[in-house]
Each structure stands twice: as structure tokens, then as C-alpha cells.
Chain A
Amino acid sequence: MKILVCIKQILDPDMPARDFKVNAETKEAERGGANLVTNIFCENALETALQIKEKTSGKVTALSYGTDDTEDSLRKALAMTVDEAALILREGDSNPDAEAVAKVLAAAITKLGEFDLILMGRESGDWGVGQTGGLLAEELGLPSLAFVDSIEANDGTLTMRRQTDSGTETATVTGPALALITNNEFNVPRIPKTRDVMMSYRKPLEKFSLADIGLSAEDVSGSSFYEVTDLSIPTKDVQCEFVEGDSIDEKIGVLASKIQPVVAANS
């Protein structure tokens, strides 16, 4: 099986809210002292791909559209034991819209060869727009399934399980296909071993310009689908009333007296 995983590098979503600042002019978050990390769902997708490879043999390629900084995310993917990586260097808008990204990824995938399975994260932890995967499936003309949390490959047939509002569904497809990965307890990304981290520097990580994949900056200018016109931090003025009392019994009594009327009104 040849599997390609698209990954995105983002501002660490775990940065505390109190350190979070936005730039009103660029309409983007200020990096400040925060790290750049691989989006968690992309790492779940890498883990899913690696588990398939380990069961069936084959090759896993990681692909990203980003900047020189993004090399770190791709190196980490290689250290997780991905076989090869490709980085398309971004030109123009630093927050390209989902359609622009899908076009770049589609052109890059066509350049890189044929794949039986393409995986992506369900959405990113920064903007969380969650449109790129569906758009990429359309660009490539592939069947796709969202919220997939495990995949089994058997003689070219892929069996995917996905999470729904009310439970799970199982789908089968004969590749090639695209799946958008969500997290579950079985695709927690592995921590690279020291040896694999060293090995990762010997693995191929190729960089491409937009011209290399047959696109120009104008083709993917980045705001012909949508444009962010405002980004702000909402202010919330809530005063928490901490329940006080001399004993825990008294505190619980106060708590119950606050909760009980709501319960009575809604039952």
C-alpha cells in the first residue's frame, strides 16, 4: 500500500488563553513565545498510516504546504517512521484559504505519484475550518469519508470505521480513497525513538516551489474562497461565586440550593 498523509503545522493550540494575542491588522494570532507543532489530528493520521504499513507493508509519505519552519513537523513524521517527506513552500498569503491549500495539495500529489490511500486530519487546531479534506477529495475525484478513527487494509479493500453523532459506522471502499482522521484511543501518535530521530535526518525530505508542481502564486492567491475580515478575542465578564461555608456539609447545602431550582424547573 502506498499511503500519503497531508499534515499541517500550527501554533500550539495548548498555549494558555492568557498568552493568546491577535494581530488586528494581519488578522492572525501572534506567535509570541508559543511553539509551532504538528496539528494533533494530522499526527493521528500519521499514526493510522504507520499502523496500516506495519500490518501490510508498503510506504508512507508525508506532505505539507508550509514554510521552512514546517521542516520540523516533517522531520518528526520521518522520526515516527514515515518513509519520505515532501514540503511545498508557501508563497503569498500566510493564511491561504482551504481551496488554495486543496489545489496545492492536489497538484503536489499528482506530482508525487499514485497513492492507494490519502489521509488528513479532520480539521486543524488553529482555524479549525475543516474544509480542505473534502475539497481535496473533489480536486482528486476520490471517494472520501470523514471522522474515520481506524482503517484496515485487505487485498486492496479498505475497511474504515468512523465516529458519528450517535455511534459508529463501518464503510468499505476499494482504493484509492481519502479519509479524514479523528482521534481515538488506538491512534495516539507514537513518541519517536532516539534512534529513529537520528535516522530521520537521513531520510528524503524534498522541497518544492509552487512552480515545481505546475502552479503559480496567482493560481493559489489564498483569498478567492473566503477571507478573514475580523479576528478578535471575546471578552467575558463572569464573576464566579465560590461556594463558602464553615464545613463541607454547609458548602454542599449551599451548592444544592443553587442547583435544585434549576432541576425543579426542568424536570
Chain B
Amino acid sequence: MSNVIVVLFGNNGWDRSAEGAAGTGQRLAQSTGGNLNVVFLGDASKEARDGAAACAASVVVVNQPELAEYQPEAALEAAQKACAEISDTSVVLFGNDTYSQELVPRLAHRLGGCSLADVQGVTADGGQVLATRSAYGGKAMSTYSMKKTPVVLWVRARAMDPATPGAGGSLEEKAYELATPRLTITSRDVLESEGPSLEDASIIVSGGRGLGGPEAFENELKGLATAMHAVQGASRAACDAGWVPPNWQVGQTGKKVAPELYLAIAISGASQHLLGMGDSKMIAAINTDPDAPIFKHCSFGIVEDYKNVVAPLTEKLNSMG
């Protein structure tokens, strides 16, 4: 028997990422004959507590002032202590967010385990944990055999199936003695965004270097996104140029998305971009180059200058209601 722990941030609530991580944790625990345990770092809402308690054998809420807002050292130490109190742990799972990505290798080291990032699939048959993920900027798929216990992973949780309700487990609040941090996050700047996040969007309208500047994002593409009830995204080239904020970036080092429809405008379709959106249900592209790699991944596309397409398409969609 070996147990699985899912570590979540209380502040994130019971979001799609929490659901997917818990679901994957539950399936792993079933295959190893162990229990699913959920640890919340920081106070969690009633909805989050209930969501976790419905599928986990035990839920621990580490609730203390040092964890009210994320601080790297406090979160790491609290995670370490909470995980250490659960015996026989084979796998510790995190979702896909900034803080999880930051904590995973450090926690693995402290627990004497091993770690891996951006995992798309994980199994634990016969006790051997295998993790699959993209490699070489999306040009290849790789499988890793994990060599130390526990295996600490952050997974593409939003793309993973939620848990099925189980017996319902215990819920406990805890607080730990934490060392004085050396590094302190002193301010947080949240970029304003209307509507859902990129990761939660059903439709995404993304723009790339071929747009030539920030104006097209603000005007034509914004208009089209509104008409399509879509969230706007971008390639790294457009973010690097400073045309749009870094958190619009989709791809290997940006957001991983899988909407119903992803419309790529003046984006070539580099493997690193595809890595972040290749699982979209439907991909369409507007590009002047018929040989652009993006067309190898599209269900439909148009070979045209975006300037001739975006405004009339917006009008057409608006008139269709």
C-alpha cells in the first residue's frame, strides 16, 4: 500500500486545477491500493474543503497567518512538514501554477524524493511511477521512470479528469512552527483582465509577430475576440516585443490551454507554441504563408493577410448574432 498526497493552495479554491489534480491523485491511489490525502497550504474555503473531503481519505488545512498569502519559504516548510506526517507516500502531486512549479524540486529534495515538471500523464503500476511529458520544445514525447520515493510532480491538472466522490474523509486543521523567512514577497501586482482566464476560456483568439505591433491586438483582434466571446492570447514573439503582457503567452513557457476553438492569427506555429495549445478541440489559423507549420495542426485555415480578414470576419460574426 502506498499513499498519494495532493498539495493545493487554499487561496485558489476548488478550481479546475484542484479537481484535476485530485482526480489524478485518486486514480493513482486506487492503482497502488493506498489513500488519497489532500493538503491545503493556507486557509481554504468551505467549497474547497468539501470538494477535497468528498474524494480524499484525509484533508489537512495548514491554516496559519504565514500562509495567508504565498511566501516561498513558508509554503515550502509547511508542505514539507505536512507531507512528512503522512506515511508511506509514493506520489505528491501539484497543479500547474507559478507557486507549484517553484516548490516541486525543493520539496522533492527535502523529502528525499525525485521530481519532474509539466507531466501530462502518470501511472504507478506495480509501484513503478512512470510520467509522460513533452520534450525538445514539443517536438518529442518522453516517458520518465522515476527513481526515488516520493515522486513529486506538477501536472497539467486542468486537462485531467476530476475525482469521483468517495467515502468522504477526515478533515483537520494544522499549524506548524516555521523558520523566519530570508526572502519575502513584498508586493503583488495583478494584471486586470475581464472575463475568464486563458486557461478557463472556451475560445481563444491569439496573435503573433505577424501582427507587427500592439495596435492590432488592441483594435482588430480585440473586436474579433469580443464577437467570438473569446479570451485573447499571444505567441512569445508578441509578448517578448512588449506588445502584450507576459501572462498572455501560450506555449511551453506560457499558459497551457485546450479550448473548444483556438484561432491563431499571424502565428507561425513553432513547436514551443504548439506545446501549449495543441490539445485544443479545434484549431484554426489566419496566415499569409501556406507553408506555415500551424496549418499542419489546423482543422481549417485561411491563407490571407490578417488585415483583410479580421475586421470583415468580426462584422460577419456580429451580423450572424
Contacts and interface: CB of A to CB of B under 8 A. Distances in A.
A145 B227 CA distance: 40
Interface stretch (A108-116, A195-203, A212-220, A229-237): A229-237
Given A133-B105, A260-B317, A262-B203, A123 B117 contact: yes
Interface in B132-150: 134-137, 139-148
B303 A242 contact: yes
B241 interface: yes
A201 to B, nearest CB: 31
Contacts of B135: 126-128, 231
Nearest to A160: B183
Interface in A212-267: 223-234, 236, 238, 240-243, 248-249, 251-253, 255-256, 258-260, 262-263, 265-267
Interface string B199-242: 00011000000000000000000000001110000001000111
B301 A240 contact: yes
Interface stretch (B19-27, B56-64, B160-168, B289-297): B289-297
B284 interface: yes
Interface residues of A, number: 84
A88 to B, nearest CB: 20
Contacts of A139: 109
Contacts of A14: 270
Contacts of A227: 144-145, 147
A97 to B, nearest CB: 8
B137 A166 contact: no
A17, A163, A174, A224 — most chain B CB neighbours (10 Å): A17
Contacts of B295: 240, 242
Contacts of B255: 165
Contacts of A137: 106
B186 A183 contact: no
A231 B139 CA distance: 10
Contacts of B187: 169-170
Contacts of A20: 136, 139-140
Contacts of B272: 13, 125
Interface in A35-68: none
Contact of A182 (B72, B191, B253): B253
Contacts of A224: 147-148
Interface stretch (B30-38, B43-51, B82-90, B96-104): B96-104
B114 A99 contact: yes
B191 A167 contact: yes
Interface residues of B, number: 92
B284 A258 contact: yes
B313 interface: yes
B246 interface: yes
B1 interface: no
A238 B296 contact: yes
Interface in A165-212: 165-174, 177, 182-185, 188
B247 interface: yes
B202 A266 contact: yes
27 contacts: A123-B253, A125-B272, A127-B135, A127-B136, A127-B142, A128-B135, A130-B105, A134-B104, A134-B109, A164-B188, A167-B190, A171-B183, A173-B182, A183-B253, A185-B241, A224-B147, A226-B144, A227-B145, A228-B142, A228-B144, A234-B141, A236-B296, A242-B295, A256-B316, A258-B284, A259-B228, A260-B317
Given A127-B142, A145-B183, 17 more contacts: A11-B136, A17-B139, A123-B253, A145-B72, A146-B102, A147-B98, A147-B101, A165-B255, A171-B184, A226-B146, A232-B142, A233-B141, A252-B309, A255-B313, A256-B317, A256-B320, A266-B202
Interface of A: 11, 13-14, 17, 20, 22, 27, 29, 97-99, 122-123, 125-135, 137-139, 143-147, 149, 163-174, 177, 182-185, 188, 223-234, 236, 238, 240-243, 248-249, 251-253, 255-256, 258-260, 262-263, 265-267
